[in-house]
Amino acid sequence: MTTILYMVIPCYNEELVIDETSKRLKEKYSQLIENEKISPKSRIVYVNDGSKDKTWEKIQEKHHEDSVFSGINLSRNRGHQNALLAGLMTVKELCDCAISMDADLQDDIDTIDAMIEKFEDEACDIVYGVRDNRDTDTVFKRRTAGAFYKTMELLGSQSIPNHADFRLMSRRALEGLSQFPEENLFLRGLVPLVGYKSAVVYYKRGERFAGESKYPLKRMLSFAVDGITSTSATPMRFILWIGFFFFIFAIIGAIYIVGRHFIGAPDVSGWASTMIAIIGFGGLNLLAVGIIGEYIGKIFIEVKHRPRYIIEEFINQEENKG
């Protein structure tokens, strides 16, 4: 029995690349089906993340032209991670495994073969697509990316260096992922927590086919902060220890000032009490904020229980037949 493979591709204002992406993926699917690597029931699912251009119209057009293409239209823009999760959770009961990738053709489509081999021959539930180099990146991006992964490792995150969201997940792994109810998603750090047998395949990341990057510097920094804060409470602990350090510093400062007074060293009137109050209360405030933040940081995100996405429409051949 051949594998039913679903590709999940989040799209935000990607009308310029849909045609070329569909052409290349269709060619790859035809090759895989001909070689009996995947089932003819396999599908390519585009997830429209509230695009402002004609992305959804393009997806509908592709679906009407060829049933291999399916589409999910979210009710509004929810961000790349939520759109990706929406696609994965929608198809998890329809496939044996799902591969996620971006629509811009920077991920190497030919790597799909190696991912399927890891899934079928080595029984891997998760296969990560990892960049073998960053030659196409600017020096600034290479250095900031390196710093980001080192920071994540330092903070105890299990994210895979140089891995974005190009990965294969089995149905079992998708079921495991569905049990994580986090609202602020960072799938690169969440997927490794699912466990199960995993593997890595390396590929060369290409240039964007058309359009503009959806991750300018400001959004990349925001994404990095989200990634760090959603996978680790260590930043809160840093605040706690900084507060503790200043509190100890205030005590040492008080001892020093009192000591100067007893040895008869000249003092500036009012300086001692002012400095002790500022440093002491500042340290105590940071200490308190760090302790409270340790709890609030974990509670705040979860108590809202807002939906991570709302699907307006799912066009799929199986659904249309029903």
60 alpha-carbon distance from chain centroid: 27
Query: Distance (Å, rounded) from C-alpha 97 to C-alpha 158?
Result: 22
Q: Is 108 helix (H, G, I), strand (E, B) or coil?
A: coil
Q: In what order do the strands lie in the sheet with 311-315?
A: 198-203, 126-131, 163-170, 97-100, 5-11, 43-48, 69-74, 311-315
Kindly calculate the radius of gyration of the chain based on its CA atoms and give it in whole angstroms: 26
Residue type, 83: A
User: CA 191, CA 186: separation in Å to the nearest integer?
Assistant: 9
**Antiparallel, parallel or unpaired: β 311-315 and 69-74:** antiparallel
229 Cβ contact list (under 8 Å, min separation 6): 184, 235, 297
Q: What is the pLDDT along the chain (322 residues), one digit of tens a residue?
A: 688 999 999 999 988 889 999 999 999 999 999 888 999 999 999 999 989 989 999 999 999 989 899 999 999 988 888 899 999 999 999 999 999 999 888 888 889 999 999 998 889 999 999 887 656 555 656 666 566 666 666 655 666 777 878 999 999 999 999 998 887 777 887 888 898 899 999 988 766 545 455 555 555 555 555 655 565 666 666 766 777 777 777 777 777 767 766 776 665 566 666 766 777 777 777 766 766 776 676 677 677 777 888 998 998 875 433 3
Going by C-beta distance under 8 Å and a sequence separation of 6 or more, which residues neighbour residue 261?
267, 272
Q: In which element (H, E) is residue 268 found?
A: none
Q: Determine the pLDDT at residue 222.
A: 58
Q: Which residues contact 307 (CB under 8 A, 6 or more apart)?
A: none
Q: How many CB atoms lie within 10 A of CB 321?
A: 7
